[in-house]
Amino acid sequence: METTDLQKIKSFAFKRYSQNTSQHDIRHVEMVNNNALKICAILGKDREIDRNLLSAAGYLHDILKTNIKGGLIFSMYYYLFERSLNRKHLSGIIKRFNLPENESKILENAIINHPHSIPFHQLNGKNDIYSQILQDADSIDYVSDTRLVSFNKKMRFLSPISKLYIYLIRKNIRFFLNFPEIAKKLDSF
């Protein structure tokens, strides 16, 4: 992916996420992007992966969540049907960047397949490397200290059940990753 294409995607993402007050804000997508690039380096895949394309996936992976305006019920609906909603609506967003077809397909596939490793253990073991890395990068951020602090500020508290849930996932994060070996090597968590 050309650097100019990545810059257009980043600008679009910053504009869209800056208007969002949920947990899916610009800090989250930047952390996912950083995690993805770290994972790529840890796995030694820098030469076979287009880092700009991986970054673009990181910046766009939750872009449809910026449209969520409803309450808890709509948020839960989106969470449960995120793959289907991405499959239905994502191509319209990606088309605006006029990317080569192969790059568009990689982006769509990675973004469509990134959800549900936590708590459903729906991993991308049989999918492409971009899908696997993006999913792991998002999962790592899901339970990162930075995200938990942000969540605690917005929600004013974490219930004991939420704290236990996060503790158990963090303790067993390797079961929710396509590349379990990265759990010990990432410092973001």
pLDDT of residue 71: 63
Contact 35, 179 (CB under 8 A): no
pLDDT of residue 102: 96
Q: What is the mean pLDDT of residues 151-173?
A: 71
Residues contacting 8, CB < 8 A, separation 6+: 97
Structural fold of domain 3-182: Hypothetical protein af1432 (1.10.3210)
Backbone angles phi, psi at 19, to 5 degrees: -90, 0
Contact 38, 6 (CB under 8 A): no
Whats the size of the chain, residue-wise? Answer: 189
Q: pLDDT tens, 69-86? A: 666 666 677 778 788 888
* SS3 call for 122: coil
Q: pLDDT tens, 71-125? A: 666 667 777 878 888 889 899 999 999 999 999 999 999 999 999 999 889 999 8
pLDDT of residue 158: 57
Q: What is the mean pLDDT of residues 136-148?
A: 83
d(CA 188, CA 142): 11
**pTM above the 0.85 mark?**
yes
Top mean pLDDT of 14-23, 45-54, 148-157 is at 45-54
- pLDDT, greater one: 160 or 55: 55
d(CA 82, CA 85): 5
Tell how far CA 137 is from the center of its chain.
6
What is the torsional sign of CA 99, 103, 105, 109? negative
Nearest to 24 by CA among 71, 73, 75: 75
pLDDT of residue 188: 47
> Within a 13 Å sphere around the CA of 99, how many CA atoms are in the beta-carbon half?
28
With a pLDDT cut of 90, the percent of the chain lying above it is 52
Q: What is the mean pLDDT of residues 22-45?
A: 88
Contact 81, 135 (CB under 8 A): no
